């Protein structure tokens, strides 16, 4: 069994507009992308950079907002709906201290009564686009899942995406799938599972265990292996034991990855002020991709330490030749 929908998770600083455009030229299998969070505050204005990230309207994109001010959220949601977006996502998962301390992201889950009031105020507005939420399963721990579910169930979300860790877990430990079940059992809307899906086999295991899961969101798994969604979707014979074919697939995979990275680098070069910034971006991507190429320890080390684009490009050629 395969998931019916596969979404690309929002990843601040990585899944930029440029990244999404280049990625979709080389890889298939993604039904929807979620934008990295756009912080909205009571001054009701988008920062220029954030605006450029989601405007003009991008097909398959769901903009994500980070807010704890309901009026600001509603203002931004309606503004984005005017631009053609039919769904806006609320971030209730970001664990960063600077975000949580302002009661945003996963900080929304710290005070359940305030969270309830916030949602009540949002949903009391008319004329909103579809509102989805990407939530964790708790602030301190996932025992809070039931309480969170009780609140979410009161509002007409078009979708709830659950990353079943608590804020305090950040990205450590294992996602608590029982907490996912608890939240899911209380909701009437569509739900999506997110967390630690790194291989087609891990997706298969999840769906075998929980056949009700029709939608998955992939994050780091797609950075480690950008062809992960394609493999999940289209590989009928991923494990057919045909070594010659597997070798050819691996060569093709490297060639596509090389083209993808070259194109991404060139796009970043055309829009960034200095090669230093481009190098930083590409190194960040390699901090995930590199996990697939651990046998190229020396070249990976070069990528980590390189100070020029030419060093970087040589190391990439060495790994992907």
Ligand X SMILES: Cc1cc2nc3c(=O)[nH]c(=O)nc-3n(C[C@H](O)[C@H](O)[C@H](O)COP(=O)(O)O)c2cc1C
**What is each CA distance from 46 to 161, 292, 316, in whole angstroms?**
24, 37, 37
What is the Cα–Cα distance from 137 to 177, expressed in whole angstroms?
10
H helix intervals, the chain: 17-26, 48-54, 70-82, 97-100, 112-123, 145-152, 177-186, 200-209, 220-224, 228-234, 243-271, 275-289, 297-305, 309-320
Backbone angles phi, psi at 297, to 5 degrees: -50, -45
Contact status, residue 38 vs residue 46, Cβ threshold 8 Å: yes
Q: Which is nearer to ligand X, 142 or 194 (CB)?
A: 194
- The count of other CB atoms within 10 Å of the CB of residue 269 is 13
Interacting residue with ligand X among 3, 7, 11, 27 (CB under 6 A): 11
Is 196 a binding residue for ligand X by CB under 6 A? The answer is yes
Is 93 a binding residue for ligand X by CB under 6 A? The answer is yes
Count CA atoms closer than 13 A to 53's CA, side-chain side. 24
Interacting residue with ligand X among 3, 138, 221, 290 (CB under 6 A): 221
Q: Which is nearer to ligand X, 129 or 175 (CB)?
A: 175
What is the Cα–Cα distance from 54 to 76, expressed in whole angstroms?
12
**What residues numbered 253-272 form the site for ligand X, per CB under 6 A?**
none
Contact status, residue 165 vs residue 171, Cβ threshold 8 Å: yes
Is 163 a binding residue for ligand X by CB under 6 A? The answer is yes
Q: Which is nearer to ligand X, 218 or 279 (CB)?
A: 218
For 2: left if phi > 0, alpha if psi spans -120 to 50, otherwise beta; the answer is beta
Smallest gap, in angstroms, from Cβ of residue 132 to ligand X?
Answer: 11
What is the Cα–Cα distance from 321 to 302, expressed in whole angstroms?
16
User: Pick from 180, 168, 119: which is nearest to 139 by CA?
Assistant: 168
What is the Cα–Cα distance from 140 to 165, expressed in whole angstroms?
10
Smallest gap, in angstroms, from Cβ of residue 101 to ligand X?
Answer: 17
Is 68 a binding residue for ligand X by CB under 6 A? The answer is no
Q: Which is nearer to ligand X, 115 or 320 (CB)?
A: 115
Interacting residue with ligand X among 3, 6, 7, 9 (CB under 6 A): 9
Is 215 a binding residue for ligand X by CB under 6 A? The answer is no
Per-residue interface string for the shown chain with ligand X, residues 126-145, x marking contact by CB under 6 A: --------x-----------
**What residues numbered 14-43 form the site for ligand X, per CB under 6 A?**
14, 36-37
Interacting residue with ligand X among 53, 219, 226, 290 (CB under 6 A): 219
Contact status, residue 159 vs residue 189, Cβ threshold 8 Å: yes
Interacting residue with ligand X among 27, 50, 64, 285 (CB under 6 A): 64
Binding piece for ligand X, criterion CB under 6 A, among 110-118, 184-192, 195-203, 253-261: 195-203
The closest residue (CB) to ligand X is: 219
Collapsing DSSP states into helix, strand and coil, what is residue 89? strand
Q: Which is nearer to ligand X, 223 or 316 (CB)?
A: 223
Smallest gap, in angstroms, from Cβ of residue 115 to ligand X?
Answer: 16
**Residues making contact with ligand X (CB under 6 A):** 9-12, 14, 36-37, 64, 91, 93-94, 134, 163, 194-197, 218-221
């Amino acid at each position: 069994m395969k998931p019916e929908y596969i979404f690309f998770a929002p990843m601040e600083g990585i899944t930029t507009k440029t990244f999404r455009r280049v990625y979709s030229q080389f890889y298939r299998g993604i039904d929807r992308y979620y934008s990295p969070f756009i912080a909205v505050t009571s001054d009701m204005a988008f920062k220029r950079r954030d605006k450029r990230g989601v405007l003009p309207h991008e097909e398959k994109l769901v903009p994500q907002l980070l807010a704890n001010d309901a009026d600001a959220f509603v203002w931004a949601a309606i503004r984005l709906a005017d631009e053609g977006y039919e769904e806006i996502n609320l971030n209730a998962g970001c664990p960063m201290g600077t975000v949580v301390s302002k009661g945003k992201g996963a900080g929304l889950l710290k005070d359940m009564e305030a969270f309830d009031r916030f949602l009540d105020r949002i949903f009391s507005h008319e004329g909103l686009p579809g509102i989805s939420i990407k939530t964790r399963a708790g602030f301190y721990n996932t025992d809070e899942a039931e309480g969170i579910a009780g609140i979410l169930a009161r509002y007409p979300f078009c979708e709830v995406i659950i990353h079943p860790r608590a804020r305090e877990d950040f990205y450590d430990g294992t996602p608590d799938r029982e907490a996912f079940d608890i939240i899911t059992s209380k909701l009437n809307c569509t739900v999506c599972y997110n967390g630690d899906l790194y291989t087609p086999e891990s997706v298969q295991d999840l769906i075998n265990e929980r056949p009700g899961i029709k939608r998955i969101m992939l994050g780091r798994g797609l950075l480690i292996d950008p062809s992960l969604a394609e493999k999940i979707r289209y590989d009928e014979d991923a494990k057919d034991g045909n070594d010659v074919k597997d070798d050819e697939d691996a060569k093709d995979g490297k060639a596509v990855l090389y083209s993808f990275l070259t194109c991404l680098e060139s796009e970043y070069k055309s829009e960034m002020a200095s090669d230093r910034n481009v190098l930083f971006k590409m190194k960040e991507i390699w901090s995930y991709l590199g996990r697939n190429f651990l046998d190229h320890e020396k070249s990976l080390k070069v990528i980590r330490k390189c100070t020029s684009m030419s060093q970087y490009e040589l190391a990439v050629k060495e790994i992907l030749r």
